[in-house]
Structure 1
Amino acid sequence: MFTRRGFVKLLGGGFFGAMALGGYAFGVEPLARLSVARYVLTPSRWPSGLKLRIVALADIHACEPWMSTRRITSICERANALGGDVTVLLGDYAAGMNLVTRYVHSNEWSKALATLKAPLGVHAIMGNHDWWEDRTAQKNGGGETFGHRALAEAGIEVYSNRAVRLEKDGSGFWLAGLEDQLALLPGRKWKRASMGGLDDLDGTLAQVTDEAPVILLAHEPDIFPKVPPRVALTLSGHTHGGQVRFAGHSPVVPSRFGDRYAYGHIVEYDRNLIVSGGLGCSIAPIRFGVPPEIVVVDIG
């Protein structure tokens, strides 16, 4: 028989359970955890003699206490120890929420990222928050953000619809980086009714001049259905894995495709996409089931 005392115990247990889960999602997973997500793949038409390790960092969202300069530096030390041939930064360095004790300036987070090292260099693209937080760039409707300038001054290659050929052990590959797909907010002088992108997929891939494989950096994964099979791998961030993920599903994802491109390795029509769960938080400092992560991809 279900008594009043039993009901009270059940209610109390549920309350304290919810408090414990909330405390973990708010104070432990986003602030104290760091995982390494590893993927191994060999895309079709990948050169048999080329073995490549990519280390990818996404969605840092620099702010205190969640992603301080000290923590970013520590993450970079961990990334350097993973032995990547090339390191890529997938955008969103600027804070994406107001629940902070201090915003970390671009001069600070870029100096922390300058500690990243890789034999084939460190290469970066911008994310939507890097554009949204720059009022001058929004007013101009393009150009450079403070993020572009800070990374360039730190010696990091920044890609804005650009492709560059790299080489390892005598085999070449292309690294292509798109400008952000949601860069421009609505209601500005260009009279857009919705967010406008500055990405140019066709123009970027037109810079590829031989048959070497292409690795594409695109902050938002929503571009993936348009990516041709010519691209061996697309690397994205932006979604944070939904920040809350249960049993392989994210109930809320900032993508028009919902959970389809929320997280992980997705293969569609012989094309590969890897979406990082990211490092920081956006909107709210909550993570559950998708801890901050560094991505390591071994190709070939």
Structure 2
Amino acid sequence: MIYTVTFNPAIDYVVRLDKALEVGEVNRAVGEDCVLGGKGINVSGVLRELGCESVALGFVAGETGAWLERGLAAQGLCTDFIHLDHGMTRINVKIKASEETELNGAGPAIPASALQQLEEKLDGLTENDVLILAGSIPSSMPQDTYERLLARLDGKGVRCVVDATRALLANVLPFHPFLIKPNNHELGELVGRELTGDAEITAAARTLQEKGARNVLVSMAGDGALLVDEAGGVHRIGCPKGKVVNSVGAGDSMVAGFVAGYLKTGRYDEALRLGTACGSATAFSLGLAKRSEIETLLATL
């Protein structure tokens, strides 16, 4: 089974205006939507489109948490959230006008007892499972949470995927994550230099492998992606043609596609193809990629 973890899920309230936002005045929307998400939840959503079952883990609280949970179930996602006694799952306000403005909620405080419950859920994972950790850690949680979770699973054969930045990512490398997915700028930050060209990106990815990562997938927006696999192979792929209308969730979609592609074929080149198709399909859509869109782009790669 594939398990995704979203520490601070959210309901995004998206408001569309037909003109610039006027601060201090009454603004009237021309449209609005509610989007249920968070990075791990996004991964689960794309996995569902690909026909891969997953379980979305994380923390929810209050009536907004109950709404999010019901909404994900209606979308066909399997969840096993920990319910917090206090606070409320956050609502993020996204104002799409001539410029985009965001107001992100803080979310509920997550007590140590809730983190312990999550750890106990993960104790049952085996070598047949995949664990995907994506995104930042709420300020109410220990900032070494990723390390703690991977250390607890160390030696069990669980394939762990980590999509995070800076210290969150660097500190889990000794636990040999199956896959890490920095973009080229984040990879440069990790090795302490600006990277230009495939040769420098490949060398930097190998540096992270030397520190423990098994496979390093580097996304490069419109320039495609580069994968250095655990056997030493280097795979390079371009980006399909299309108009980018939404960057939110594209990286999560790439992770979902890579994991699904590898589990289905056991081949890293095919995993990279499907991951690239998924990431691009989301970037070219207003929401997360749909299966038909993914298949259309996959045929061009």
Scaled by the length of structure 1, what TM-score is found? 0.34
Scaled by the length of structure 2, what TM-score is found? 0.34
- Higher RCO (CA < 8 A, seq sep 6+): 1
Q: Which has the larger radius of gyration?
A: 1
Whose helix fraction is larger, Structure 1's or Structure 2's? 2
